[in-house]
Amino acid sequence: MAMPTLIYCAGGNRLFAQIAIDAGYQFGSQLPNTVYHPVWFADQDWKQPNRAAYMASLAQQRPVMASVLDWEIEDQLIEVLDWAEEAAQYVERVMLIPKIIGRISQLPRRIGGADVVLGFSVPTRYGGTAVPSWEFEGWPVHLLGGSPHAQQRIAHYMNVVSADGNMANLMATQRCQYWMPGNGDDPKNRYWPHLRGWMNRDAPAEAFRRSCHNIMAAWRALAESNTAST
């Protein structure tokens, strides 16, 4: 297993974006938005898709990877692939996000000269894809959301090439907690200990910084372990 590309997606938070980039993350953002860093991964507004504005922004930003419309209903595939064909002019990888069971075999491996990566929404209590994980076998996969430890478990049986998620951001800003690889000192939540001894406005940033470094180190260790065992 190669080390996946980890992506921080939050275009409006310049401080946290820089912390993540300094830790080795790539930058991602929903487009079109104002961004302050080179965009590695672009996502479109799935609630209010605006194809013309999105493609114009891709043409300007030229990210490595971009998502297109989720494939949510059977007869939507033609539209999804049409978006992908246009987006492929500006990127190296197009992310298709299949949400229909038993249909991944209909997807191309390349489109418009760009490689195809499949997006897998990591199951959480708030949702996740209904498509079973084994249907993604043999495909390069991008993990969408979920906790860092859930993502790392999935990497044992999927070809994970990249991953994003905002849980570390939320835990830092809302609870001043940071991620550890299951060895925190809180018996109720060993993955998210509280930051102790910080009682000022810098505490959320410090919690996020620790999460970024710990998550990056855990992924590196997993990749090295898998490489050594093959």
Domain boundaries, the chain: 5-165
- Residue 228's pLDDT band (boundaries 50, 70, 90)? low
Rounded mean pLDDT of 186-195? 81
- Residue 230's pLDDT band (boundaries 50, 70, 90)? low
Counting Cβ atoms within 10 Å, is residue 91 exposed (0-12), middle (13-18) or buried (19+)? buried
Examine the pLDDT at 186 and tell me if it is beyond 70: no
Candidate CATH numbers 3.40.1130, 1.10.287, 3.20.20, 1.10.3470; the one for domain 5-165: 3.20.20
Examine the pLDDT at 125 and tell me if it is beyond 70: no
**CA quadruple 33, 79, 69, 2: dihedral, nearest 10:** -110
Rounded mean pLDDT of 201-224? 94
Q: Is 2 helix (H, G, I), strand (E, B) or coil?
A: coil
- Residue 190's pLDDT band (boundaries 50, 70, 90)? confident
The sign one gets for the Cα dihedral 161, 162, 168, 170 is: negative
Q: Which residue has the higher pLDDT, 189 or 17?
A: 17
- Which amino acid appears at position 200 of this protein? N
Rounded mean pLDDT of 181-209? 81
- Residue 190's CB is within 10 A of a number of other CB atoms, namely 14
Q: Is 92 helix (H, G, I), strand (E, B) or coil?
A: coil
Radius of gyration of the chain (CA): 18
Counting Cβ atoms within 10 Å, is residue 37 exposed (0-12), middle (13-18) or buried (19+)? middle
The pLDDT of residue 184: 62
The pLDDT of residue 203: 92
What whole-number distance in Å separates Cα of residue 24 and Cα of residue 218?
13
Query: Cβ neighbours of residue 185 under 8 Å, at least 6 residues apart?
Result: 193
Q: Which of 66-70, 194-198, 226-230 has the lowest mean pLDDT?
A: 226-230
- Residue 129's pLDDT band (boundaries 50, 70, 90)? confident
- 86 to each of 59, 62, 82, 113, how far by Cα in Å? 10, 13, 6, 11
